[in-house]
Structure formats: structure tokens, C-alpha cells
Structure 1
Amino acid sequence: MERTVTVSQQGSFAHVLQTFALSLLVSFIGMLIGAMVIPPSLVTLFIIVEVGMLIAALIIRIRGKNIGYGFLYTFTAISGVTLYPVIMVYGGLLGANVVSGAFFATAAIFGGLAFYAHRSQRDFSFLGGFLFAGTIGLVLMSVIGMFVNFGSMTNLVWSMVGILIFSGWVLYDVAQYRDGVAAEEVPLAALNIYLDFINLFLYILRFIASIAGFNRN
């Protein structure tokens, strides 16, 4: 989508990345709060709020409006709270060192993809339809996974598809934002990149856990 905004009205790509980085920090603080303050019985409530906020952000965007910084940082803090139990499960399964390594691997992959999308000046808009359909498929798989226990092979394929799809989202979103966005669109742009990063991280963890499952078998 073309954006015809003046420099004074524009948020640079660097500003988007800075907001994204701050969002990660807020999410980490949310994880600490989840670890020290939030009882496990309330995590489900936070998940419901998180999903509700995602739906609200989508509706706001469809209506041609934008979210604010308060919405962004509230969402990422809640996201951190809901991430903590997931990270703890993977930590117990794989070990803290492996989880940390997965995070740094995610950062390296994300950085490489973002650098390529920014410097190459290629148009990745053709990926939009495929990525959207693939994301819907991943959501459906997640819903089915609540009722069906997938085997190691299914989890391995699922995780590989997830890694590919969210790697594609990184390329797509960075290409969309590399020339800057309207100032009021910065929080939404940062939210999109935050979701790309977190989901890429989670699917890398799922991939490693699937490999570990094969080794145990």
C-alpha cells in the first residue's frame, strides 16, 4: 500500500524498529511479572484478554484507524505474561540453555531477513495472500491441537511450516515499512513486527522440541 505522507508526518523505519525493541522489553517485563506476581490460575484470563486485543486491533485496522502506544505496550506486557508458562514448559523439556539459544537464533534469523528486505528493495507484496492463508492454517492447527495429540512428525512439519510463514511475514512487513509509515501507524507497524518475531521464536522452539522428541523415540 502506497503511503503519501510528508517527512514531518512520517515515522521512519528506525522509529518503527525502536518501538519494536521497546515492545520486546515490555514483553520481557511482562514475563517477569508473570513469573513473580501472576498466579497460574489467572493465565487463562490473560490469554483471553490477549486474543481479544488482537481481534480489536484487527477491527480497528479494518476500519482504517490505528492503535496507540498505550494499546501496543499493554498488549506486549500481557503477551509476556502469557509467554512465561510456555517458555517454562520448553525450558523444562529442552533446558534453559537451549531456549536461550533458540532466542538468539531467532534474533539472528530475524535480523538477517530484515536486513535483506530493507537493503534489497525487493517487493514482497506478492507473499501477502499466501502468508495470510498459511497463518489461518496455523491457527486452525493450533485449535485442533487443543483436542488432538499430534505425533513428532506432524509437529516437526507444522513447526517448519510455521518458521517459513513467519520468516515470510518478516520479509513482507519490513518491505512494507522500510520507507517509513505515517506517524500514527508506528504502533501498529511495531505490533506486526513484534508478532512476527515472537511467533518465529515459538515455532523455532517447537521445531527443536520435535527433534528432541525424535531423539527420545
Structure 2
Amino acid sequence: MPSSIQKQYFRRVIIIFMISLAIATIGVFLGTVVPSQYFLPIKIIEVIMLIIAFFLRRKKGISYFFLFLFTFISGLSIYPILHQYVSSIGMQTILMTLIATTIIFIFIASYATITKKDFSFLGGILSIALLAFIIIAIIRIFWPLDDTSLLIYSFIGVLIFSGYILYDFNRLKKYGIKKRQIPTYTLNLYLDFINLFLNLLRLIGLLKDRK
């Protein structure tokens, strides 16, 4: 496929990614009027949609409607987390964390797209690390981690999703995408960004609590 077409698709991924973040932000703000008893069902819907997306991406990929619906629901599910951190570390710290996440994301994405190195080898490593990360997250529901273990867990989360940013952007640059894959790749980048932000936020929250 001509490189000009790939550049066009790449720009479209970035635009759709920014739209997805905007939709998620709307979801966060609307979360302020959602009764607390609805957040667990919302979280369950989010997880179910992630599982559906995992299977769809191996076939025909997800649709734009699915992507935007997921990011909206994701924004709703993030609200209780942010509300909790507002009371513990303050809105200013949350905004600074968001800015830091954006800077890290842009820096890694820029490096991944200009470097001549191929980071495809990270795919298997990151998949194993993410699986272990998810298993620990499930275990945490029944056996909460102490502060030190949670600090290490959060730091590892930052490394994993920083690695995924590097891997996903490098793969976009090296191998390109098809038009129908744009929503699926955008979802990958959205998950990279949001999970980097949440893990960085938890890490900073834990460090502030230790002072």
C-alpha cells in the first residue's frame, strides 16, 4: 500500500484517538450524576466489551460505534476512581498526572515512529507481563496488597503500558494498517493511555501518602 495512504491512516488513528479521549472525558463528567449503585454494572459492561473486542480484533475488528461506546462507558467507570483521588491527593495533582501522562505518551510515541529499530519482539514479553498484571489485579480483589507491594505493582503497570505505547506505535510505523483496522488500533492506543494514567495516578497517590 502506498506510504501516502498509510500516513493518511496514521493521521486518522491519531484523530480518532483524540476523539475517543474527548468522549471518555464526557463520560467522566456525566459520572457525577450517575447513582453509585450503577458503577459496578458499568464496570462489568466495560469488561465484557473488552472481552468482545479481544475476539473481534482477530476477525474483522471493531466498529467506530463500538469504540466510541466503549470509551464513553470507560469514562463513566473511571469517575469513581478520580473522585476518590480528588479527596485524597487533590484535583491539582490529578491534572499534573494527566499532563505527565500526555508528555510520556507523546515522547514514547514520537520515538517509536522515528526510530529505525523494530520493537516487534516486545509483543510476547508484554503479553505475558500484562497477563500476570491482570491475574494480580484479580487476586487483589480478595487479598489486598500492602502499600509497598502496591507501589511496586503500580510502577510495573507504568512500565508495561509505556512498553505498549512503544510497541503499538512502532508496529503502526513499521507494518502499517488496513482501513478497517483503524478503530481497533485506536482502541489499543486508548487503553495504553488510560492505563498508563491510572497506574501513574496510583503510584503518585501512594508516594504522597508516604510523606
Give the TM-score of the pair, scaled to structure 2. Answer: 0.94
Which structure carries more relative contact order (alpha carbon 8 Å, separation 6+)?
1
Secondary structure at the aligned position of 2:73 is classed as helix
Q: Could you tell me which residue of structure 1 aligns to residue 47 of structure 2? A: 51
- Alignment deviations for residues 6-33 of structure 1 (CA, whole Å, 9 cap, x no partner): 8669852111111100000000011111
Larger deviation: 133-142 or 162-171? Answer: 133-142
Secondary structure at the aligned position of 1:125 is classed as coil
What stretches of structure 1 of length at least 5 have no aligned partner?
none
Q: How does 1:168-179 map to 2 (within 5 A)?
A: 168-178=163-173
Q: Could you tell me which residue of structure 1 aligns to residue 141 of structure 2? A: 146
Larger deviation: 123-132 or 145-154? Answer: 145-154
Distance in 2 (alpha carbons) for counterparts of 1:160 and 1:31? 24
Distance in 1 (alpha carbons) for counterparts of 2:23 and 2:95? 18
Query: Quick one: structure 1 residues 6 and 96, their matched pair in 2 at CA, closer, same or farther if it must change by over 3 Å?
Result: closer
How far is the alpha carbon of 1:212 from its aligned partner? Answer: 2.0
Percent identity between matched residues is 36
Distance in 2 (alpha carbons) for counterparts of 1:194 and 1:137? 21
Contact 2:13 2:182 in 1 (8 A): yes
Distance in 2 (alpha carbons) for counterparts of 1:132 and 1:159? 17
Q: 1:27 aligns with which of 5, 20, 24?
A: 24
How far is the alpha carbon of 1:163 from its aligned partner? Answer: 0.5
Amino acid at match of 1:90: Y
Distance in 2 (alpha carbons) for counterparts of 1:213 and 1:40? 26
Contact 1:33 1:81 in 2 (8 A): yes
Give the TM-score of the pair, scaled to structure 1. Answer: 0.92
Q: Could you tell me which residue of structure 1 aligns to residue 100 of structure 2? A: 105
Distance in 2 (alpha carbons) for counterparts of 1:61 and 1:189? 9
* 2:195 matches 1:202: no
Distance in 1 (alpha carbons) for counterparts of 2:20 and 2:48? 19
Q: How does 1:155-174 map to 2 (within 5 A)?
A: 155-174=150-169
Distance in 2 (alpha carbons) for counterparts of 1:45 and 1:5? 45
Secondary structure at the aligned position of 1:178 is classed as helix
Runs of 4 or more above 4 Å deviation: 4-11
Contact 1:31 1:81 in 2 (8 A): yes
Distance in 2 (alpha carbons) for counterparts of 1:5 and 1:195? 29
